Structure 1
């Protein structure tokens, strides 16, 4: 039995689709079962509730062999520790008591770098990995750079003003990955019952690009000018807080961006195994272009 969290989120949904296509037995943890499509609900076991709840994870993990773990976003959390290790602590107890063998978790690049202890959400993700791996399970942390899909948050800005922004400088070449590729790597690991031990699995996409490079590619795909604008960190944090993000979580986002701008995501050597197939250009054709033109 494979337990999957966040089945209605972008990564969770696509991972679930792949598991069902392989006819694997799946149990999902979802806050509201009604959010699952009927065709999915008929093919999975459903445990309703939050996977941060001790009673829910006890029930969900019973008799399970493998777990897909993803902490849901909590922009209003009072601290990064509460959002990551605090949320995951009930699961760390249930992993021990219920005897789950393997965990595949969504995490981040950065372990071992000079920036890792001051990288906001990344630092919190790595602490979560330590908590869960410390239970004795076999553990695979999918370590990712920024997702291409993060740009969809700026769809209206791209559509109306022909620009997108970040605190990261426009000439810093970094990896980025598509959510569909993350789901493919996660599903392959969840379907494989032979691995053991604790390892990181980088998911780097096929190339390193700067935001200036991305702007050029977006311009070509959308057939309209798109430019990148670096914004001051203080302005970025203020905007996040105006949108409802807590001060702690907004600072975490800024610290993560500053660490990435200092080379956090460039520390892992790219290999064939870490290079996933979806290029930024293909992602723009398949995902960004329909969103902008809608």
Structure 2
């Protein structure tokens, strides 16, 4: 068909996640048949399954990653959740597999889902592993775009129990302003970059959502969107540690999670300023009405 892209191989990791599923949808609509690397193909709906190529396996398996990306023109890489006791080391281990695949398979362009805070390189909990992945991908000399994303709207889904009682819990100061973003908007940027063949070299692009928000402002927005009173309440790092320990997390995993907020809320200024290139359209109020309200 005239509107289809020439045959190219685009590999997508974590294709059933909040960002990856959007990337897959847009690639299909653009006329591309992507290759998906995932552990559980049964999580794909039947219509999608018929329109993609699947490599089943774990991103922690270097041989699987090499096989999935052989002949690839472009790669969307996400360091997936890891069972490692030290999450930052786990992410770095996954990132090493990506870098090896880029080098050995000659992948021209890689879009990497990084995070605000990766520019610190050290001292940001789990994000340190994303920073290490950035460095390893940079060392390949291939084209790589690091998307340093803000705080996902979907993180609110992890606090449903407290929200049902009217409380938005956080370890961040209630007046600390930071970027909040809809993962679907990140997916839009990823797909656009994967489809474009006009860029090369190392690039960094932040994804900041429509505007920076404090948790106090988020509580006000949620109150309007959900039709119920929500108040923001700051909890201690030790409260989070206790809850994570009760859920079975190891000490290393706990400190990786707690370390993210500690590392970014104290004397941290993001490297990438908000510009027209970093600002995405979906508002928190619209997202919460569409996705959070039904979950409550």
TM-score by length of 1: 0.93
Partners in 2 of 1:222 and 1:81 — Cα distance? 35
Number of residue pairs the alignment of both structures matches? 288
Deviates more, 1:190-199 or 1:27-36: 27-36
Equivalent positions of 1:126-205 (< 5 A) are 126-159=131-164, 161-205=165-209
Residue 206 (structure 2) pairs with residue 206 (structure 1): no
Residue 295 (structure 2) pairs with residue 288 (structure 1): no
SS at match of 2:173: coil
- Answer yes or no: is the 8 Å Cα contact 2:88–2:127 preserved in 1: no
Deviation at 1:263, TM superposition (A): 5.3
Give 2:113's aligned residue: 106
Partners in 1 of 2:274 and 2:249 — Cα distance? 34
- Answer yes or no: is the 8 Å Cα contact 2:60–2:94 preserved in 1: yes
Deviation at 1:124, TM superposition (A): 1.7
- Which structure is richer in relative contact order (CA contacts within 8 A, separation 6 or more)? 1
Give 1:247's aligned residue: 251
- Answer yes or no: is the 8 Å Cα contact 1:109–1:264 preserved in 2: no
Deviation at 1:182, TM superposition (A): 0.7
Deviation at 1:250, TM superposition (A): 1.3
Residue 20 (structure 2) pairs with residue 20 (structure 1): no
- Answer yes or no: is the 8 Å Cα contact 1:166–1:236 preserved in 2: no
- Answer yes or no: is the 8 Å Cα contact 2:118–2:148 preserved in 1: no
**1:152-184, Cα deviation, whole Å (9 max, x unpaired):** 11112211x110211111111111100110100
Q: Which runs of 4+ in 1 moved over 3 A?
A: 263-267
SS at match of 1:107: strand
Partner residue of 2:233 out of 223, 229, 233: 229
**1:174-202, Cα deviation, whole Å (9 max, x unpaired):** 11100110100111100101110111110
Deviation at 1:266, TM superposition (A): 4.4
Residue 34 (structure 2) pairs with residue 29 (structure 1): no
Give 1:65's aligned residue: 73
Which segments of 5 or more consecutive residues in structure 1 lack a partner in the other structure? none
TM-score by length of 2: 0.93
Give 2:53's aligned residue: 45
Which segments of 5 or more consecutive residues in structure 2 lack a partner in the other structure? 1-8
Closer, same or farther in 2 for the Cα pair 1:171/1:241, shift >3 Å? same
Give 2:123's aligned residue: 118
Give 2:6's aligned residue: none
- Answer yes or no: is the 8 Å Cα contact 2:127–2:260 preserved in 1: yes
Residue 84 (structure 2) pairs with residue 80 (structure 1): no
- Answer yes or no: is the 8 Å Cα contact 2:88–2:256 preserved in 1: no
Deviation at 1:77, TM superposition (A): 1.5
Partners in 2 of 1:154 and 1:2 — Cα distance? 35
Deviation at 1:140, TM superposition (A): 0.4
- Answer yes or no: is the 8 Å Cα contact 1:103–1:139 preserved in 2: yes
Give 2:18's aligned residue: 10
SS at match of 1:20: helix
SS at match of 1:171: coil
**1:28-68, Cα deviation, whole Å (9 max, x unpaired):** 11112222211111111111111221221121111110000
